[in-house]
A and B are shown apart, each in its own frame.
Chain A
Amino acid sequence: MGRKIRFYLFFLIVLVALTVSMIAWDQYTWKNLRSDQMVAFQTMVGGVGMGAISTPIWNFINFDPRIQPIDDSTLWPIPGGYSYGPDRTATVSYFEEIPTNQFSPSPPPSPPRGEEKGEGK
């Protein structure tokens, strides 16, 4: 076995070992990350921001669907058209409205006690 081959295989072992240790180090630092500032900030503001965008440009759904779960850029200028928000092309997150069943068969269920018109007044 030539010297070059030995050196290359040794380099390979070092490279793989270094990569594994770097991944382990990254895992460790994230686990021990001082996230107390993030927690304090989000607790204070009641949770702001969810998506891979730093400002609510074009629409709010990419930024935080809690604030506006509708992609209103599809509502104009052609209703139902494609999204005009360029940030909808963001590669790592994509929020869309979660459909909720707003249909109920007639007659509707009876109202909760005390909520009927005039009751309790």
Chain B
Amino acid sequence: MKDIMNRHLNLLFTAAGNLIRNRGRSLVVVLCLIAVLFPFISAIAISEGIKFQSLISVEEGADIYVTLDHYGSNAPISLQHLERFQKMEGVVKVFPRVIGRTYFADRLATIVGIPAEEISRSIRLVQGKMFREKGEVMIGKALAKVVHLQTGVGFTLSPNPSKVFRVSGMFDSDMTIWSSNLILMTFEDASEFFQMRGMATDILIYTRPGHAQRLAREIMGASSYRDSSEPPLRVQDKSLVKRYFQRGFNYKAGVFTALFTVAFALAIPALLVISGFGQAERKKEIGVLKATGWQTQEVMEMVALENLIIGFTSAPLAILSAMVWMKWLNGAFIAQFFIAEIGLMASFPVPSRFLPLPSFFAFLFAIVLTMIGGLYPTWKTATVPPAEAMR
């Protein structure tokens, strides 16, 4: 038993020695593996980070969102519906909301208008205070940076230049990725700004647990038989929103992983086969080993151990460099490939989450694929007579 253990250990030491002796070849393979694994790990980490924030958005959002249905798309809804929804059994809270977009200097901003009573006092601000008066707004720190806005400064926006706003405070940019370019104001101010008085983008309904689906059905049912010239209502409940979430992230992440696996699977053997880097030398080495009495099985084990060591060197290095890039350099230059429209340097902390499973896959990819690329040529060389291999 001890002999067998010693034999395997000796093969491991020989494999490590081979890698050190052929350090040029080992370095190229390790660097190639890091270059291939790094974007994979970064993409999955960003995906998981955004997923975490997105889940909070879904969970903390309303139970039912009601809009009008104009030609199959969501459309603004009249505030006249509020009273009817409030009276429904199982409804806890109802409020209207305005969500729109406008350009703020050259940056696209999201405008959110909510009733003043919904304003939370527990929101942490980097500057100023929560708005209290008409015309006061809160803006994201990233947006404020664009035009060096300070609290107390007034501004207008071209869609409605008669509406004057004043910055009362700024959000912390690490709240969510969606709050960095956001302008928050009261519902009334937003309605005035978009000149859509008496209308809301959507009406949010909060229900008692277990009532949401029934209420959604009731609202839809009542809408179908309403004697009104108004278009039908469009109702989205939390279960539908959760389905958006699940499909939106899992589908894309799955496709990305599948494509990446294929690209990776093709890249490594192609690299080894096409470059033929160090293959002639390797052939001679195997020939010498066979001539000095090594069995094919032992040669194969040694090469497998070499690949294992390469995998265990490159995967951790790729994970650590991705972590450093994401956490300390805020995903500079590469985050823009995974989060659209953020530029070279994100103006908010790029969320990244390094889960054990993708890291395990990184190890697995590195090991399995280098094995595929390395074992077959070795076996081919090891099964020919030593004299031929050394020639």
Contacts and interface: CB of A to CB of B under 8 A. Distances in A.
A73 to B, nearest CB: 12
Interface stretch (B161-169, B290-298, B333-341, B382-390): B333-341
B11 to A, nearest CB: 12
Interface stretch (B179-187, B263-271, B367-375): B179-187
A45 interface: yes
A92 B73 contact: no
Given A26-B354, A43-B120, A50 B359 contact: no
Main secondary structure on A side of the interface with B: loop
Q: Interface range on chain B: under 10, 10 to 19, 20 to 34, or 35 or more?
A: 35 or more
A45 B182 CA distance: 11
Interface string A84-119: 001101111111101000000000100110011100
A46 interface: yes
Contacts of B247: 95-96, 98
A27 B355 contact: yes
Contact of B178 (A44, A49, A96, A117): A49
A33 to B, nearest CB: 8
A63 B110 contact: yes
The interface centre, meaning the residue of A12, A23, A55, A72 with most chain B CB atoms within 10 A of its CB, is: A55
Contacts, number: 239
Interface residues of A, number: 66
A54 interface: yes
Contact of B123 (A41, A64, A90, A108): A41
A58 to B, nearest CB: 9
B321 to A, nearest CB: 11
Contact of A93 (B101, B252, B309, B342): B252
A35 interface: yes
A36 B57 CA distance: 12
13 contacts: A1-B13, A9-B12, A37-B174, A43-B60, A44-B119, A47-B62, A48-B178, A49-B179, A52-B47, A52-B340, A54-B339, A94-B252, A95-B248
Given A22-B323, A26-B353, A68-B74, 9 more contacts: A12-B313, A19-B315, A23-B356, A41-B176, A52-B340, A53-B341, A55-B341, A57-B340, A93-B50
